[in-house]
Amino acid sequence: MAVWSIINYIRYSRQSCYQIDESIDYQRLTTWQKIRKDSSPRNLVSTSLMSFFMFMWVFGLVIGCKYTLTAHADVLYCSSGVFILLISILTCRYVNKFEVIGYIVYGVGVAIMLSDPLATKAEGTTNKLLGNLFAFSGAFGGALYGIISTKLKRDSSQEVCLFYLFLGQVIIQVIIFSHAEENPLFFSMDSEYGIFGWLSDPWLIIIMCGFVAPWTSILTNYSLLESYKYWTLDIVAVFFLMEPYFAEISAIFLSQDKIPGLQTFIGVGILSLGIICSIHGSKTKAKEAINDASKNYQEDHIELSIDSFDEYNL
């Protein structure tokens, strides 16, 4: 996602040279000045909802990984496109047939992959049904997160959005987890039960500050928000389905999951075909929307020219 976003940023960066002076001056503002300038009620409401749905999304993944395989939880966690497709159908929006076919094939591949009896965790007990249910339920939050993200203005500051997104995450998690269970050590630096426990271990500090925070939090969310500026929600959701490939490799490499059987690889092959078909359908739908908009613009321009010509003759 990060590499993909950078490529699109370079592709469209030339357009910024033709923006008005006000936009250029805005880009020269510091992050805190942008936060003060863009703290409108609409942005606060949008980012608050995004924070909640992001929490729902990630919480489903974390709990899912606790009970089922990391690769299985991740493939369901990234299936927010399924809910986006269902929402589009329920709201009577146009859906390309290849999108529907692609997601059906993808679902078949996921079902084959999840039912592999040889796929097991390296250690710990498993409850695959419960873990898969949590991860897939969290994907619904990811779908709503993406829908709200696309409602943000194209020229909105990503720094402001990320600031309120992370601030909302902290507030939501502190409120929920501090009341979810009676834990007197919640606000302590206890390595097991404290919210600041990572500060008690130098290695955890290095991992959190050197990898988790900049890579999996800031860069991931920034690139995801940036991609919504240049691509439709459907295309981003489909490309997001490719993340489980890396999850499968990393889970085996980190000894979280054991090497699965042949059934898993068959399922991955089938769901890959579904992803390709869905990408084709999403791109086709985007091209059709552009062609329709261009056609309507030309028709309106011709009608305006005819009306102007008639008025001139009169």
pLDDT digits (tens, 9 = 90+) for 55-94: 888 888 888 888 888 778 888 888 888 898 888 888 888 8
Q: Return the closest-CA partner of residue 132 out of 57, 200, 67.
A: 67
Q: Within a 10 A sphere around the Cβ of 39, how many other Cβ atoms? A: 13
Question: For 202, which DSSP code?
Answer: H
- pLDDT for res 32: 60
- pLDDT for res 53: 86
How many residues make up the chain in this entry? 314
Cα 160 from Cα 148, distance rounded (Å) = 15
Amino acid at 294: S
Phi/psi of residue 241, nearest 5 degrees: -65, -15
- pLDDT for res 300: 56
- pLDDT for res 210: 79
- pLDDT for res 123: 67
Task: Dump pLDDT digits (tens) for 16-54.
Answer: 444 444 454 555 566 666 666 666 676 777 778 888 888
- pLDDT for res 299: 58
Question: For 205, which DSSP code?
Answer: H
Q: Within a 10 A sphere around the Cβ of 3, how many other Cβ atoms? A: 8
Structure token pair of residue 42 = 């609409």
**What contacts 78, CB < 8 A, 6 or more positions away?**
139, 142, 240, 241, 243, 244
Cα 92 from Cα 105, distance rounded (Å) = 22
Q: Which residues of the chain have pLDDT under 70?
A: 1-40, 42, 122-125, 152-157, 180-181, 183, 244, 254, 256, 296-314
Where along the chain do its domains lie?
42-306
